[in-house]
Amino acid sequence: MIFKNLRTIREDNDLRQSDIAKILNISQNTYSQYETGVISLTAEVLIKLADYYGVSVDYLLDRTDEK
């Protein structure tokens, strides 16, 4: 499943996949696979991203448009 908000929020913050990968302590390739839905996001990664961006997990998962 592809999560459009995950990519959009990264791009809105002028960040590259490699920037977020460093924050998460994972490879850029792994982060790319999260964005494209090749591999599933873990709860730990979702929480870290939501905290980093100051948004809800539901927003990152495209379950709501409200951050």
- The per-residue DSSP string of 42-66 comes to PHHHHHHHHHHHT--HHHHTTS-S-
pLDDT band at 67 (very low <50, low <70, confident <90, very high): confident
Q: Whole-model pTM?
A: 0.90
Q: Six-digit token pair at 43?
A: 């709860």
Q: In this predicted structure, what is the pLDDT of residue 2? A: 85
12-56 confidence digits (pLDDT tens): 999 999 999 999 999 999 999 999 999 999 999 999 999 999 999
CATH, range 4-60: 1.10.260.40
Query: What whole-number distance in Å separates Cα of residue 13 and Cα of residue 37?
Result: 21
